[in-house]
Amino acid sequence: MQNLILTSTGFTNRNIKEKFLELVNMPKDKIRAIFIPTAAITEDAKVWIPECKNDLLDAGILEDNIVTYDLDRIMSCDEICNFNVIYVCGGTTQHLLNKMNETNFNIPLKKFLHNGGIYVGVSAGSVVLSQNLPNNLGYINCTLNVHAEEGTECGYLNTSDCPNVKLMDNQAIIITDNDIAIIE
């Protein structure tokens, strides 16, 4: 089982937030989230960290249930599986991917997703799962352009031929098991 929500700007579109809550499918005050701001290394990107965290708070997740993890250590599979959500902020994609690879983040992430956890990517947090860069995490067989002026049409997304997918700021790719769709 895998549940991923790949966005340009998080939950700025209410429909994306509602889909997130539908996938989590538990009382909001019980949701536990890992918040990863690692990609935000420039001053411009750091400004968005509070906005990203507000996505989780505005969705009803209690602040005490949000743990910040900066990919500064290896997280065990058992530790990561104590959470329901991983929310990965945007910023510098290559830096984020390098840190994920250095900490072998893909290993506990696979177990987390297999156990029903939800991954939410914002901008760089989405791109690291696509085919844009070498040594990517490989969760979607396409290249992904975020913050696009014109997005790929909503609906079922066939990624068998590794298409170039464009996401506008109000769109998201929703991956549930083998179903992939774009919503807005």
**Predicted confidence (pLDDT) at residue 177 exceeds the cutoff of 90:** no
Residue 120 confidence (pLDDT)? 98
What is the pLDDT, as a whole number, of residue 156?
A: 95
pLDDT value, residue 91: 97
52, with CB counted inside 10 A (0-12, 13-18, 19+), is buried
What percent of the chain is helix, strand and coil (3-state, nearest 5)?
30, 20, 45
pTM of the model: 0.96
Quickly state the pLDDT bin for 139 (edges 50, 70, 90): very high
Q: Domains, the chain, ranges and CATH?
A: 3-183 (3.40.50.880)
pLDDT averaged over the chain? 96
* Per-residue pLDDT tens over the stretch 93-105: 999 999 999 999 9
Query: What is the pLDDT at residue 29?
Result: 95
Q: What is the dihedral of CA 34, 40, 44, 49, to 10 degrees?
A: 10
Can you give the pLDDT at residue 160? 86
